[in-house]
Amino acid sequence: MKTNNVILETATRILLFIILVFAIDIFFAGHYYPGGGFIGGLIFAGALVLLLITYDIKTVAKFLPFNYLVVIAVGLLFAVGTGIGGLLFGKAFLTHWFTYVDFPILGKLSLHTAVLFDIGVVLVVIGTAMAIIQTIGESD
């Protein structure tokens, strides 16, 4: 007999987006406030784990058709690519560049290549957490 998980499922639907937004906020705020790639990635992975708990692995895999090992590779490429970018402009490996731009609605913001590096970190952290949890979960 299948247990009815309707409360959990409903709660997940609401909570998932709150958690994801929180994760993205933590990630982007990282340069100015506590947070950053590591913790943002972990919270993001936490949201996905909530999905895994609510549904089963196959369902999650159906609407998130990622191979998480590829995600790790892409993350590492981001990080290394940012470093090589520095080399292309005749600077040392992993030299970052930033500027301030006035956006129409958002106002004055800084654009920073460190964010690209942090995206790499986030992707690797999400990929690692999910790859470990999924492989352990699938194994029997």
Partner 1 sequence: MSLLHLAIISPLILAIFIPSLHKRAPKIHTGWFLLPLPVLLFGYFLSFLPGVINGEAAMETLSWIPSLGIDFSARVDGLGLLFALLITGIGALVVLYSIYYLSKEKEKLNQFYVYLLLFIGAMLGVVLSDNLIVLYAFWELTSFSSFLLIGYWNYRERSRYGAQKSMLITVFGGFSMLGGIVLLYLMTGTFSVSETIAMAGEIVGHDLFIAVLLCILLGAFTKSAQFPFHIWLPDAMEAPTPVSAYLHSATMVKAGIYLVARLTPVFAYEGLWIWLVAGFGIITLFWGSFSAVKHTDLKGILAYSTVSQLGLIMSLLGLGAAALHYPEFENGFYTVAITAAVFHLLNHATFKGSLFMMVGIVDHETGTRDIRNLGGLMTIMPITFTIAVIGSFSMAGLPPFNGFLSKEMFFTGMLRAQEIGFFNMDTLGILFPIIAWVASVFTFLYSMIIVFKTFTGKFQPEKLKVQKPHEAPIGMLISPIILVSLVVIIGFFPNIVSPLIEAVMASILPTLLAAGMEFDVHIYHWHGFESPELWMTIGVVIAGILLYKFMPRWTGIYTRMPERFSLNSAYDHGLAGIQTGANRFTNAYMTDSIRTYLIYIFAFFVLILGATLITKNAFALDLANVAEIHAFEVVLVVIIAVGSVSILFAKSRMTTIILLGAVGYAISLFYAIFRAPDLALTQLVIETISVALFLLAFYRLPKKWHHERMKFKVSNAIISVGVGLIVTLIALSAHSSKAFESISQYYVENTYTKAAGENMVNVILVDFRSFDTLFEIAVLGIAALGVFTFIKLRMSRGKEQG
Binding site for partner 1 (CB under 8 A): 26, 29-39, 42-43, 46, 68-69, 72-73, 75-76, 79-80, 83, 93-94, 96, 98, 100, 110, 112, 114, 117-118, 120-121, 124-125, 127-129, 131-132, 135-136, 138-139
Nearest approach in angstroms of CB 2 to partner 1 is 22
Q: Bridge-partner residues for 40, per DSSP?
A: none
Cβ closer to partner 1: 31 or 55? 31
Nearest approach in angstroms of CB 36 to partner 1 is 4
Residues ≥6 apart with Cβ < 8 Å to 120 = 37, 75, 76, 77, 78, 79, 80, 81, 82
Nearest approach in angstroms of CB 6 to partner 1 is 25
Complete DSSP assignment for 76-95: HHHHHHHHHHHHHTTS-TT-
Cβ closer to partner 1: 24 or 94? 94
Cβ closer to partner 1: 3 or 99? 99
Nearest approach in angstroms of CB 22 to partner 1 is 11
Rounded Cα distance between 93 and 112, Å, is 16
| 3-class DSSP state of 140 | coil
Give the CA distances from residue 35 to residues 10, 14, 31, 32, 69, in Å, rounded to whole numbers and listed in that order: 28, 23, 8, 8, 24
Nearest approach in angstroms of CB 4 to partner 1 is 25
Cβ closer to partner 1: 8 or 116? 116
Task: Give me the helix-helix angle, 68-88 and 113-138, nearest 10°.
Answer: 160
